[in-house]
Structure 1
Amino acid sequence: MRSAFGSRRETAPQIREIDKRTFFRRLDAMLATYAAAMEPPAEQMPGRRTIMERHAAYPGFRAFVAGRRRDVAGFVYGFHGESGQWWHDVVFAALTQTGGAAHAREWMGDAYEVAELHVHPDSQGQGLGRRLITTLCAERPERTVVLSTLDAQTPARNLYRSLGMTDLLTGFRFPGGGPLYAVMGARLPLTSRRS
C-alpha cells in the first residue's frame, strides 16, 4: 500500500512558511505527524497541543510545513528564547550549574530555540529534516541556535551534529520526569558537515 506521502521517487514535499493563523489551522495534522514520529502515550497529546499553542505567541515565532495538499510530511518551528519561557529558564539554570553564568549567557543570551522538528516515518531518510531545520534557521539574527533531543544515537541527533551542533548537556532530565535528553547548540549560521 502506498503512503499518503508517495514513494521516494516522487518529488520531495514542498516546504512553505505558515503564519500563526495557518499554524493553528494545521495543528491537528502537525500533531498527527508528531504522534507518528514520536509515538508518545495518548494522554500526553492534549498537553502537547497546549504547549504548541503557547509557543505560537513567543517572539520571533516562525513555522514551516512540508507536504502535499493537506498532508504534513514534516514540520518545524522555533522562536527567540528569553527569560520567562519554561524551556529557556530550565536549560539556562542547568547550563549555569554545569558551566557557570557566562557559559549559560553565551549559549542562551541571544538564542533561537528550535522547539519542534518532526518528520512522518513515511518521509524519513530523505533529507526532509535537514531541509526543514536549515530553512527555519536561515538568516536568523540570533547568535546561537539551541534545541533538545533524546540522549541517544538517533538519526535526529546525527543530523544535528552534521549541522555543527555540539552537546551542551547530556543525560539531562527535564522537571516532571521523562526520558533523558541532550541539549545541543551551534553558532549561527548553521554549517553543514555533510560529505
Structure 2
Amino acid sequence: MFKVKQLDGSDFMFDEIAFLYNDIWNKEGTDFLGRLKRHSNYEGFRGFVAFNQEKEMIGYSYGYTSLEGQYYRDLLAKQLNPHELEAWLENCFEVVELAVHPSIRRSGLGQLLVGKLLEGVEHKTAILTTQEKNIPARTLYQNLEWVVVKESFIPSSVDATPYVIMGKSLVVSRK
C-alpha cells in the first residue's frame, strides 16, 4: 500500500518534502526548506518519506539527536525542571516533523513513519511537541506509548498556540 524510503545524503528530496509540508499545513512562504536543509546537517539526522501506489509523496518524518545549543532543544530545556531535563533531554532523539497528507490520514502511515524513524535509534529517550488541541496527533503518540511531559508549552512569541511536550523511553540496544 505504501512505499517508505529512508532519506540519505545522495537522494534528499527536500523540494518535494517542502512542497508537501506547504500543501498539508497551508504555509506558503515559510522557510521550511531552509530549515529542513539546516536540520539535515545536525548530528544523528534521519528521515523517511512515504509514497502511494502512484508514486506521489504522501508523508514524511524526520528527526535528529537533541543537543544543547540547538534552538528548539534549548526552548524545551527552559520548560523543564532539572529532573525532567535529565530524564528527557539527556541522550535524546528529537522527532522534529511528522506529516501525512490529509487524504491518507488514519491509515496507519503516521504510525509506520514514527516507527521507522525510531527503529534502531540508540538514544535513551525521544521527545517531540505537537499542538495541545491536536487530538488526532496526541492520540497517535499516546497509542505508541508516548507520555505527556509538559502541557501548555508556547514555543513562539509570534504565535500563542499552546503545544504539549511528549516523550518516549527508548530501549538502547547494546551490540
Taking structure 1 as the reference length, the TM-score comes to: 0.81
Q: 1:107 matched to which residue of 2?
A: 88
* Structure 1 residue 138: Cα displacement: 1.1
Q: 1:48 matched to which residue of 2?
A: 32
Correspondent of 2:46 among 38, 59, 62: 62
Distance 1:134 1:180 in 2: 26
1:166 partnered with 2:147? yes
* Structure 1 residue 158: Cα displacement: 0.6
Q: 1:27 matched to which residue of 2?
A: 14
Distance 1:16 1:48 in 2: 20
Structure-to-structure mapping, 1:1-195, within 5 angstroms: 12-23=1-12, 26-40=13-27, 42-43=28-29, 45=30, 47-68=31-52, 71-95=56-80, 100-178=81-159, 179-189=161-171
Distance 1:54 1:30 in 2: 14
Q: How many percent of aligned residue pairs carry the same amino acid?
A: 28
Q: SS at the partner of 2:94?
A: strand
* Structure 1 residue 77: Cα displacement: 0.6
Residue 75 of structure 2 aligns to which amino acid in structure 1?
V
* Structure 1 residue 70: Cα displacement: 5.2
Which is worse superposed, 27-36 or 125-134?
Answer: 27-36
Could you report, residue by residue, the CA deviation over 1:27-67 in whole angstroms, capped at 9, with x for unpaired residues? Answer: 12112221232223x23x2x222211110011111111110
* Cα pair 1:36 1:121 within 8 Å, conserved: no
Distance 2:69 2:129 in 1: 18
* Cα pair 1:171 1:182 within 8 Å, conserved: yes
* Cα pair 1:37 1:120 within 8 Å, conserved: yes
Taking structure 2 as the reference length, the TM-score comes to: 0.90
More helix per residue: 1 or 2? Answer: 1
* Structure 1 residue 153: Cα displacement: 4.2
Give the alignment's Cα RMSD to 1 decimal. Answer: 1.5
Distance 2:39 2:163 in 1: 20
Distance 1:106 1:135 in 2: 23
Aligned residues, how many? 169
Distance 1:119 1:79 in 2: 19
Change (3 A) 1:14 1:20: same
* Cα pair 1:79 1:114 within 8 Å, conserved: yes
Q: Give unpaired runs (5+ residues) of structure 2.
A: none
Q: Which one has the largest radius of gyration?
A: 1
